């Protein structure tokens, strides 16, 4: 009985593997990487956001709860004047009355356009004061990244293993 369980478990984990990738613009920029490693994102925030991303990947993005403090699925806005980010997920963190959001899109079909595994595509990020909405211009930027990714499937390649993650400490590489 133990052998059957091991085979089933191995098969399931192989089928449920996901990878993180950074969306890349036509100019070779990686907005999510820039957000995570930039001056506006302190190391503590970077660690928290990437810890959330890692947890989502371990469970599998389709199965991870999408209404937690740390991971949310965006919904259609109440007003037609607002940008529709429905279908985009956000890793979330709060430090010093600032909210940090790392926007991602789930791509189950990534292997069909050349990636090794289904992918969690990191699009870009936003910093905003607590209890406020980000400007619609920021949401339009994230929506442009999503639409460009969906049209081109362009991601940053050649970054694997410990080199992939921004510097977050020894246990995260």
Section 66-80 average pLDDT: 90
Strand ranges (E), the chain? 19-22, 71-73, 89-95, 98-107, 119-129
Which 3 state secondary structure label does DSSP give 23? strand
H-helix or E-strand spanning residue 130: none
Domain ranges of the chain: 18-157
Give this prediction's pTM: 0.84
Note the pLDDT of residue 1.
Answer: 41
The predicted structure's pLDDT at residue 130: 94
State the pLDDT at residue 158. Answer: 53
Task: Look at 116 and 127; give whichever has higher pLDDT.
Answer: 127
| Res 109: pLDDT | 94
pLDDT of residue 151: 96
Quick: pLDDT tens for 21-71: 999 999 999 999 999 999 999 999 999 999 999 999 999 999 999 989 999
**pLDDT tens for residues 8-25?**
444 444 457 899 999 999
């Amino acid at each position: 009985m133990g052998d059957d369980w091991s085979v089933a478990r191995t098969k399931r984990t192989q089928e449920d593997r996901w990878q993180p990738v950074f969306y890349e613009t036509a100019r070779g920029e990686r907005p999510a990487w820039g957000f995570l490693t930039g001056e506006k994102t302190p190391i503590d925030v970077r660690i928290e956001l990437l810890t959330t991303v890692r947890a989502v990947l371990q469970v599998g993005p389709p199965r991870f709860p999408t209404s937690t403090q740390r991971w949310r699925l965006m919904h259609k806005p109440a007003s037609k004047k607002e940008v529709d980010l429905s279908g985009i997920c956000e890793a979330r963190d709060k430090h010093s009355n600032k909210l940090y959001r790392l926007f991602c899109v789930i791509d189950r079909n990534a292997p069909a356009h050349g990636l090794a595994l289904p992918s969690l595509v990191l699009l870009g990020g936003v910093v905003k004061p607590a209890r406020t909405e980000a400007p619609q211009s920021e949401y339009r930027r994230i929506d442009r990244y999503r639409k460009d990714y969906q049209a081109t499937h362009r991601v940053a390649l050649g970054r694997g293993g410990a080199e992939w993650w921004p510097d977050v400490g020894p246990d995260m590489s």
